[in-house]
Chains A and B, each alone.
Chain A
Amino acid sequence: AQTVTQSQPEMSVQEAETVTLSCTYDTSESDYYLFWYKQPPSRQMILVIRQEAYKQQNATENRFSVNFQKAAKSFSLKISDSQLGDAAMYFCAYAGSGNTPLVFGKGTRLSVIA
């Protein structure tokens, strides 16, 4: 079974600074997808960024980028120029190919300090 591990229960960053959230996963599949979701206090699940395993290029979405190391099974999220609105729970998630459910890590609570 696939597993996702987030080793940082809590992180904090100064406004305008950069922070990196860690995620590792375990799978025997070769074709899969990785995601970072943001969950604010409203508990909505907001997709931040996605990465297809077959793509070597790291995904980027504005201030959010990932460092995808397939051999090491690592998928970290970098948030640049952190903003107060970035404060939330961040979940790393794995999905196999096809229409399969997401497997989530335990999450990292990010605080942004003004």
Chain B
Amino acid sequence: GAVVSQHPSWVICKSGTSVKIECRSLDFQATTMFWYRQFPKQSLMLMATSNEGSKATYEQGVEKDKFLINHASLTLSTLTVTSAHPEDSSFYICSASRQGVTPQHFGDGTRLSIL
């Protein structure tokens, strides 16, 4: 089956640090990837839609200058949390699907802890 790899799985860093999270589709080309955020005991909320070769589309309330998304190839999207603060601590998870094909396949997620 389709595999999506997300790295790192867990990161702890100091406030003010920038953190990059990678999401790779290992055995298929993903023209679109999605980034979700999940706070403790809550559901997944869409942050942005990442399109290969073009700018990401951000959901209302998500700061595009803080959460930089790059989708430079058909197999890789990155999310960079710039100047992270404790309130950015959360579980970030990506998903990808082949063009027009469901379901989406999820990475294993990244636990981000900002001290």
Interface residues of A (CB under 8 A from B): 33, 35, 42-45, 47, 50, 91, 95, 98-99, 101-107
Contact = CB atoms under 8 A, between A and B. Distances in A.
Interface residues on B, range: 20 to 34
Given A99-B31, A99-B100, A102-B104, A107 B43 contact: yes
Given A99-B32, A102-B34, A102-B95, A91 B44 contact: yes
A101 B95 CA distance: 9
Given A45-B106, A50-B102, A95-B104, A101 B43 contact: no
Nearest to B46: A101
Nearest to B101: A99
A20 B101 CA distance: 28
A2 to B, nearest CB: 11
Contact of A95 (B43, B44, B102): B102
Contact of A98 (B45, B46, B100, B103): B100
Contact of B93 (A35, A45, A95): A45
B87 to A, nearest CB: 20
A107 B97 CA distance: 23
A106 B38 CA distance: 11
B103 A47 contact: yes
Contacts of A45: 44, 93, 95, 106, 109
A98 B97 CA distance: 10
